[in-house]
């Protein structure tokens, strides 16, 4: 097993990789390198919508999964009104509107995995 760091869309992931064609009976301290192949990693279309927070987007406070969305596009919301629910580590986290405004766009769907800082809901600027 080798520990490698892979970067996808600017986000680094530490992964363990099992090398299946490693020569047998080789001492663990011997240096051995496998050929490296380049591959393009495709991301789902929803990742573009929830990537870095755009202007007016309410960012995710943590990495987790979207459980439910309590608002709809065009809906007027008050400051501190619940927008959606995230789940992380078997706990629900409620995301609230930082200011009053109109929901311009919902950037995620229930079941989507989100990273900390990704846009969830885009609100119009406060009046």
Task: Return the domain boundaries, the chain.
Answer: 45-123
Please determine, looking at this structure, whether the domain spanning 45-123 carries the CATH number 2.40.50.100: yes
76 has a pLDDT exceeding 90:
yes
Looking at residue 6, what is its pLDDT? 76
DSSP sequence for the chain: -EEEEEEETTEEEEEEE--TTPPTT--TTS---------PPP--HHHHHTSBPPTTEEEPSSSEEEEEE---TT-EE-TT-EEEEEEETTEEEEEE-SS-EEEEEE---TT-EE-TTBEEEEEPPP-
* pTM assigned to the model: 0.58
115 has a pLDDT exceeding 50:
yes
- 16-31 tens-digit pLDDT: 777 776 665 555 544 5
């Amino acid at each position: 097993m080798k520990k490698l760091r892979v970067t996808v869309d600017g986000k680094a992931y530490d992964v363990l990789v099992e090398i299946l064609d490693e020569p047998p009976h080789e001492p663990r301290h011997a240096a051995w390198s496998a050929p490296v192949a380049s591959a393009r990693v495709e991301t789902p279309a929803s990742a573009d919508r929830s990537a870095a927070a755009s202007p007016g987007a309410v960012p995710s406070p943590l990495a987790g999964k979207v459980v439910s969305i309590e608002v709809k596009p065009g809906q007027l919301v008050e400051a501190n009104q619940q927008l959606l629910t995230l789940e992380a580590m078997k706990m629900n986290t409620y995301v609230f509107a930082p200011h009053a405004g109109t929901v311009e766009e919902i950037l995620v769907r229930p079941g989507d995995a989100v990273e900390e800082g990704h846009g969830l809901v885009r609100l119009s600027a406060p009046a």
